[in-house]
Amino acid sequence: MVKLVILTAERCQIVNIITHFGCLTFCLENFEVLSLTDMIYVSRQEHFNAAHKLYNPNWSEEKNNEVFGPCANKNFHGHNFNLIVTVCGEPDPETGFVVDLKKLSDLMKDEVTEVLDHKNLNVDVPFMQGKMASTENLAIEIWKLLENRLSDITSFGKLYSVKLYETPRNFVEYFGPETAGP
């Protein structure tokens, strides 16, 4: 049996990497965890509506239609997006919070939903200019917006994931650049 010590300061990132690669079960079965603190995962959901078009300008219209189907519609199409942001950390001993959910909600609204709601991602959103307006790329950009401001509202939590539902059955989840796969 291999013994694994997870340091408190590193725990959020290490668990993040382990779960991202689908190894959590393997790791729990093969490692004796010697040190864990009370890591909590806190999530907040917000909603916005936005239009976009998936279209590669370097391709012919035929190839775009072949690859992207109706998502390449020249008149764009819309989605009712649901955004779930998860912050992880240890609770503040004075408040019991990893992050104040009202402050997280306000941050998500200020940085994301007010910027994206009822907008065309290809045309109206500066941080999406020059990028394919896929849900994957949008989740990465949302991560960047929130990560830069999260320390303004919590000193006990770190951004763990951004989950973005394009439809009730289609969603992406991004765990940050440190967890990029092979």
Active site residues: 71, 118, 166
Burial 125-149, CB ≥16 within 10 A → b, else e: beebeeebbbbebbbbbbbebbeee
81 CB burial (10 A radius; 0-12, 13-18, 19+): buried
User: Whole-angstrom Cα distance, residue 182 to residue 178?
Assistant: 12
Q: How many CA atoms lie within 13 A of 40 on its CB side?
A: 13
> DSSP letter at 178?
G
User: What is the widest separation between alpha-carbon atoms in the chain?
Assistant: 60
φ/ψ (deg, to 5) at 164: -125, 115
